[in-house]
Structure formats: structure tokens, C-alpha cells
Amino acid sequence: MDDMARLVAAEHIKELKARYFRFVDTKDWAGLRGLFCDHATLHYTDSNPDTGPQPVDQAMVFIGETLADAATIHHGHMPEIEILTSDTARAIWAMEDRVFWPEGSRNPYGLYQMQGWGHYHETYERHGEQWLIATLKLTRLRRLIELQPARAL
């Protein structure tokens, strides 16, 4: 690949990740699913450390159930994108997210709000003219949480 083709590929991957964040925050689950290869795996290491990478469709259920009634804000920064071949790439993205669940929410962790910082480690494949996420692993450097208020019995 020449330099121009690498730059174009990197820009397409940046757009892909921007859509990822927007689709999570707007709860466009079908749009989010469309960003991944059918064989993709996702690994959210802080959600359940005993669980390894999940197949994409299983991960979509987890994301949808966990964030269904939450207001979320996701930001990705400073991508380190490496174009490996004309059809494969990998990247590391610095990230910050904030998640707010309404009081009384039934989220699986009993959280009221969470703020986190870390990195997305991803690989990508190009299918036709479209870049898709093949693997996603989120690692956190720090996480602040606030639990749901205790309810009177």
C-alpha cells in the first residue's frame, strides 16, 4: 500500500470508531452490530474479569441489557492506527466514558453512575469497501463508581 492508501484507510477506521461511540450513546443497537464482522469478539475486561472475549451477538445482548435505560457519554482520543495489509489493521484508542443509570434502575451491577478511563485495543478487517471491527478489548486504567441509593424496605 502506498502512503495515500494508508491515510485513507486510517480515516475510514476513525469514522468507524466515531460511529461506534455514537451508536452506543444513541442506543442504535442495529447500527452498532453492523460495525462488526460476523466472527468478531468483544472483551470488556472490567465487566466480568472471569469472562473472556464474547462472540459479537452475545456481546450485543450484554451491551443492550446493561445500557438500556442509561445515559452514556463515550469519547475516543489519540488513535494509534497501524495498517497491516490492504485488508487488515489494528489500533489502540485512549478512551473516557460516563454512564448514568436512573435511580431504581435494574442494571446488573447496582450502579448509579460510572466514569472510566482506559484503552480500546482493536483489530479491523476490510470487507469490500467497508472496514469492520474484528476484535475489541477494553482495558481500564481507572474507574470511579457510585452505587444506587439504598431503598427502604
Q: Kindly report, residue by residue over 36-57, the tens digit of the pLDDT.
A: 999 999 998 776 556 789 999 9
Task: Please name which of 115, 21, 107, 109 lies closest in space to residue 68, comparing C-alpha atoms.
Answer: 107
Q: Measured at the alpha carbon of residue 137, what is the angle toward residues 120 and 40, in degrees to the nearest 5?
A: 120
Task: Please name which of 74, 43, 75, 69 lies closest in space to residue 148, comparing C-alpha atoms.
Answer: 69
Q: What is the pTM of this model?
A: 0.92
In whole angstroms, give the CA distance from residue 88 to residue 13.
Answer: 11
Q: Kindly report, residue by residue over 83-133, the tens digit of the pLDDT.
A: 999 999 999 999 999 999 998 777 777 888 999 999 999 999 999 999 999
In whole angstroms, give the CA distance from residue 113 to residue 109.
Answer: 10
3-147 maps to CATH 3.40.640.10: no
The residues spanned by each domain of the chain are 3-147
In whole angstroms, give the CA distance from residue 129 to residue 33.
Answer: 18
